[in-house]
Chains A and B, each alone.
Chain A
Amino acid sequence: MKTIYILWLRQVKKYFRSPSRIIGSLGQPLLFMLALGYGFGSVFQQAGQGNYLEFLVPGIVAMSILFTALFSGIEIIWDRQFGFLKETLVAPVSRFEIMIGRSLGGATVAVLQGAIVLLISLFFGFTIHNYSLLLLSLVFMFMVALLFTALGTAIASLLEDMQGFQLIMNFLVMPIFFLSGALFPLQGLPKAIDVITRINPLTYGVDGLRGTLAGLAQISLTTDFIVLAVIIVVLNALGAYLFSKIQI
C-alpha cells in the first residue's frame, strides 16, 4: 500500500514541479475551444443543434485528459531511458503494485489537467448545466484518465525507445480523439464512422462528461459507465501483464 502511495505521490510531485509542462499542454485545448467553439458556433446553431460551446467543452476536457493520461503511461519509456525504471523493477514489491501506483498517479494528474481546462472554459462562457452532477463528472473524468493511462502503460511496455512514438500519436491518439464524438454529434454519421465511434472508448467518456456537465448525453450515462468500467478492467489487466514482462 505504501508503495502505491509513494509512487502516486511521485507522479503528482513531478507534475507540480513542471509548470511549463502544465501551461504548455493547455495550449492545444484552448486553441480548440477558441477556434472551433467560436468558429463553428453559428453553423451549429443554424443547424438547430443549440450552443456549440456547451456541446464542445466536455469533448475538449476529455481530450486533455486523453493526452495527459496517455503520456503519463508512456512516461515509462522515459523512466527506462533515464534508468529509474530499473530501480523500481528490482525492488521487492510486486510489479502490479508498481503499475497501480503509477497509473493512479498518472490518472490523478490527467484529472487535474482536465479540471483546469474545465475551469478555464467557464471564462469562455461555458455554463455547467447542473452542479449536483459535478461529482459524477469527476468520476467520468477519472475513468477516462484510468483507461488511457493503462493504454499508455501497455504501449510503453512494448516499446524500447521513443521511436514508435510519432506513429502512435498519428495512428492511435489522433484518431481516438477525432473519431469520438468530441467535436460532432453522433447522429447521422456515415456507416464506417459510426461503427468506429461506437467501438472507440473515448466516445463513452465524452458522452458521460457531456451528460453530466452539459446535460447533452447522446447514449446514456449508465451505458457510458458500464462500457468504461469494462474497458478499464481489460486494459489494466493487459497493461499489468505487459508491464510484468519488461526486461531491462
Chain B
Amino acid sequence: MENIIEVKNLVKDFKDVRAVDNVTFNVRQGEIFAFLGPNGAGKTTTIKMLTTLLRPTSGEIKVNGFNPVTEQDDTRHSFGIVFQDPSLDEDLTAKENMEIHGVMYGVPNKLLNERTRQLLELVELWEKRNTQVKDFSGGMKRRLEIARGLLHHPKIIFLDEPTLGLDPQTRNHIWNYIHDLNEKEGITVFFSTHYMEEAERVADEVAIIDHGKIIIQGTAKELEEKTKTNSLEDAFLALTGKAIREEGKEGWAAKFRGRN
C-alpha cells in the first residue's frame, strides 16, 4: 500500500527542550495508526507539525504528497483534526460551531445539516444543539469537538487524544463510528493516545514514542512478539521501563510528593 504520511528525521526544538528527536515513520493509506506514548512524549508537537501549525526545526514531512511547510493550503485540504486542547467558540451554540466548520471545509448545505444531526445524535448533544458551548460540561465540549472533527470527510483525520476523559460507553460509540468511516470511505486515521487498550483494540499499526523518540513500530501483535510480552501494556513496560503515566494521576502524585 501507498504511504499517505511520510516523516523523515523530524526534529522540533523549543527553547530548552528537544520535543521531537529525529523521528522517522510512515503511515499507509487507509490504515488506522496509533501514536502511543506518555505525557510529554512529543505526540502533540508531531501532530502540529504534520498539520501546518508548527514549523519543524529540521527533517522532512509529506502529508498526502504535500509539504506542510511550503504547501500549506494543499496540505490543509487533505486532513481534518480533533485537537487535544479546546478549540470551540464558547459564545456560539453547538450547532453554530458545526456550521462554521462545515462552511470552512466546503461541506454542501444539505449534507452539512444531515451530518450535523447524525453526529450530534451520536455524541448525544442533539437536544443541546442550541445551547451556548460555555454552558457545556468538559465532557460535552469534548464530544462536540469530536463531532465537529468528523463533519467533513477528508483523506486523513488526526485525532489527538480524542477520548481523553470520556466515559467508556461514549468512547465505544465514537470508535465504532470512526472505524466505520475508515472501512467505508477509506479515510486514514492517525490518532495519539496514552490508553494502551485503545491502541491495541483499534489500531492497525502502533508506534511507541517516548522522550521525543520512536522506540518501536509495528502491529500490536508484532510489538508483543518482539518484546516477548503478552500485551501492549507489558510491551510498553519492557521498552520504556515504566508504566504509562495517566493524565491527572501524575499531577496528583507530584503534588503529593511536593508536600513531603
Residues of A within 8 A of B (CB): 2-3, 5-7, 10, 13-14, 17-18, 79, 82-84, 86-94, 247-248
- Contact residues in B for A248 (Cβ distance below 8 Å): 48, 53-54
- Contact residues in B for A5 (Cβ distance below 8 Å): 103
| CB contact under 8 A between A93 and B100, given known A83-B85, A86-B83 | no
| CB contact under 8 A between A91 and B88, given known A6-B100, A86-B53, A248-B48 | no
Q: Which of A82, A88, A94 has the most CB of B within 10 A?
A: A82
- A91 near B92 with CB under 8 A, answer no
Q: For chain B residues 100-120, which have a beta carbon within 8 Å of chain A?
A: 100-101, 103-106
Q: Mark B79-102, 1 if CB is under 8 A from A, else 0.
A: 101010111111110001001110
Provide a sorted-by-A list of 24 A–B residue pairs whose CB atoms are within 8 angstroms: A3-B103, A6-B100, A10-B92, A10-B100, A13-B92, A13-B96, A14-B89, A18-B91, A82-B90, A84-B87, A84-B88, A86-B53, A86-B83, A87-B87, A89-B53, A90-B51, A90-B52, A90-B53, A90-B76, A90-B79, A90-B81, A91-B105, A92-B73, A248-B48
- Contact residues in B for A94 (Cβ distance below 8 Å): 73
Q: Is B153 an interface residue (CB 8 A)?
A: no
Q: Is B226 an interface residue (CB 8 A)?
A: no
How many Å from the CB of A173 to the closest CB on chain B? 24
Which applies to chain B's interface (DSSP): helix, strand, loop or mixed? Answer: loop
Contacts A82-B89, A83-B87, A92-B105 supplied; 19 other A-B pairs, CB < 8 Å:
A13-B92, A14-B89, A14-B91, A17-B132, A18-B91, A82-B86, A83-B85, A84-B87, A87-B88, A87-B89, A89-B53, A91-B76, A91-B104, A91-B105, A92-B77, A92-B106, A93-B104, A248-B48, A248-B53
How many Å from the CB of A50 to the closest CB on chain B? 44
- Contact residues in A for B106 (Cβ distance below 8 Å): 92
